[in-house]
């Protein structure tokens, strides 16, 4: 029942999936246990995450754990057609076509939900949006789910406050394994990998403007500075702005930073971060990218309305010529740049993030009878277990507290 662009692409997709499986040892260990214990036997799991090789591996691992899995993409431009075909060939029902927009994209999400899942894995809230609205009837068997992104968790908490959250949800993005590792180091590397591969331009010596200094923004700014760029950070949070300053970055409003930037990266999870008033003062040939979940941080429609000419200048780069002759360049249509124009986070990074997803789903099943329709944090024991497995996989070890030290830290008598 899979819906993919071309099933003949399966061999290439399977090669990609098999490659990343060799570099995801933590998830591999979970797979071995799941295959033996079958924690999801008789359960249906719907997954909506960027449809590329690491996500395919997660879907395959859940299926090995006994689940009936349906997997779709969470962004039209991040879906890789060969991976979708490869995963379908491996026995996981897959619904994803690169470039599917609007109604076609939504229909793929709906097809994914039609088997009425018990569990969901969401990335940005697309599945929850449907299950809390037009597809509410498809959520009658829901036990719970996991959310991968900061943006998605904000939406979940808003639904919880209004009493309209359709099922218990785990805030996977808030796990230490996710924001310490994935958001900072994964985003930091994959954003620049995508920009450099797509633009084929030097980073050293340029001025990079990073909008947002959360965990993702920290990674993007750190890697830009490491490659020799001068970094400006824009923020709305005073303490994040102070943190950026203490790390050696200039801090200023976007209204000012817009004049200086050669490359812009938005990482806020908000909308209208870069707008026509900023385009009006930017340098000729400035490059605009977004590393937040949705394509509303850079107002591409507003830029198009200002432009007298719009053309494809290079694969995944559109140039917008303004009336005064300046050209502003947008990578990946203003969508998530590291996936719309790249391969996403490295396999070793997603090994930890998807291990959290897998173990969080198992936790939901085990605790299903006592859960309310609210947002839950990932238990510390899951985080710590994944961290220790990852250290071991890297050949590293750490100290352990003695009973006396634990008593000293947790008591008051000393």
Is residue 8 annotated as involved in ligand binding?
no
Is residue 291 annotated as involved in ligand binding?
yes
R_g (Cα) of the chain, nearest Å: 22
Phi/psi of residue 71, nearest 5 degrees: -130, 135
* Contact yes or no for 335/292 (Cβ under 8 A): no
* E-only strand ranges, 54-118: 68-72, 93-96
Is residue 278 annotated as involved in ligand binding?
no
Q: DSSP string spanning 236-255?
A: S-HHHHHHHHHTT-EE--HH
Is residue 395 annotated as involved in ligand binding?
no
Q: Is the dihedral of CA 305, 309, 310, 313 positive or negative?
A: negative
Is residue 292 annotated as involved in ligand binding?
yes
Is residue 132 annotated as involved in ligand binding?
no
Is residue 151 annotated as involved in ligand binding?
yes
Calculate the alpha carbon distances from 149 to 250, 298, 326, 329 in Å. 27, 19, 35, 27
Is residue 146 annotated as involved in ligand binding?
no
Q: What is the DSSP letter of 282?
A: P
Q: What is the DSSP letter of 274?
A: B
* Contact yes or no for 97/4 (Cβ under 8 A): yes
Say how far apart CA 267 and CA 216 lie, in whole Å: 7
Is residue 216 annotated as involved in ligand binding?
yes
Structure tokens at 188: 């930091």
- Burial (Cβ within 10 Å: 0-12, 13-18, ≥19) of residue 371: middle
Is residue 150 annotated as involved in ligand binding?
yes
Closest CA to 334 of 285, 310, 301, 286: 301
Say how far apart CA 316 and CA 29 lie, in whole Å: 37
Is residue 179 annotated as involved in ligand binding?
no
Is residue 214 annotated as involved in ligand binding?
yes
Is residue 363 annotated as involved in ligand binding?
no
Structure tokens at 112: 């994914």
Binding-site residue numbers for NAD(+) are: 149-151, 214-219, 235, 291-293, 338, 345
Binding-site residue numbers are: 149-151, 214-219, 235, 291-293, 338, 345
């Amino acid at each position: 029942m899979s819906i993919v662009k071309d099933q003949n692409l399966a061999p290439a997709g399977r090669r990609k999936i098999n490659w990343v499986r060799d570099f995801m040892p933590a998830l591999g260990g979970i797979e071995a246990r799941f295959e033996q214990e079958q924690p999801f036997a008789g359960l249906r799991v719907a997954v909506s995450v960027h449809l590329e090789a690491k996500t395919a591996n997660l879907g395959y691992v859940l299926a090995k754990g006994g689940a009936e899995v349906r997997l779709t993409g969470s962004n039209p431009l991040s879906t890789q057609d060969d991976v979708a075909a490869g995963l379908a060939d491996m026995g996981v029902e897959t619904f994803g076509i690169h470039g599917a927009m609007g109604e076609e994209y939504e229909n793929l999400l709906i097809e994914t939900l039609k088997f009425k899942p018990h569990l969901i894995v969401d990335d940005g809230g697309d599945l929850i949006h449907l299950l809390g609205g037009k597809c509410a009837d498809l959520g009658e068997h829901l036990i719970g789910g996991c959310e991968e992104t900061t943006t998605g968790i904000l939406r979940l908490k808003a639904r919880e406050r209004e009493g309209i959250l359709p099922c218990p949800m785990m805030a996977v993005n808030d796990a230490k394994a996710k924001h310490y590792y994935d958001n900072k180091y994964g985003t930091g590397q994959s954003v620049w990998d995508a920009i450099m591969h797509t633009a084929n331009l030097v980073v050293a010596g340029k001025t990079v403007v990073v909008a947002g200094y959360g965990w993702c923004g920290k990674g993007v700014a750190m890697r830009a500075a490491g490659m020799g760029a001068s970094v400006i950070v824009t923020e709305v949070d005073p303490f994040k702005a102070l943190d950026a300053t203490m790390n050696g970055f200039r801090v200023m409003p976007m209204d000012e930073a817009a004049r200086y930037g050669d490359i812009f990266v938005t990482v806020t999870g908000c909308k209208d971060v870069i707008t026509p008033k900023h385009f009006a003062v930017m340098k000729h040939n400035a490059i605009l990218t977004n590393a937040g979940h949705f394509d509303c941080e850079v107002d591409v429609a507003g830029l198009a309305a200002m432009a007298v000419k719009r053309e494809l200048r290079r694969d995944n780069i559109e140039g917008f010529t303004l009336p005064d002759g300046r050209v502003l360049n947008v990578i990946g249509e203003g969508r998530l740049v590291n996936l719309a124009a790249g391969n996403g986070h490295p396999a070793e990074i997603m090994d930890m993030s998807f291990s959290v997803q897998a173990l969080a789903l198992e936790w939901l099943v085990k605790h299903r009878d006592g859960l309310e329709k609210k947002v839950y944090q990932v238990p510390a024991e899951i985080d710590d277990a994944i961290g220790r497995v990852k250290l071991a996989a890297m050949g590293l070890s750490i100290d352990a507290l003695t009973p006396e030290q634990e008593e000293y830290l947790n008591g008051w008598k000393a």
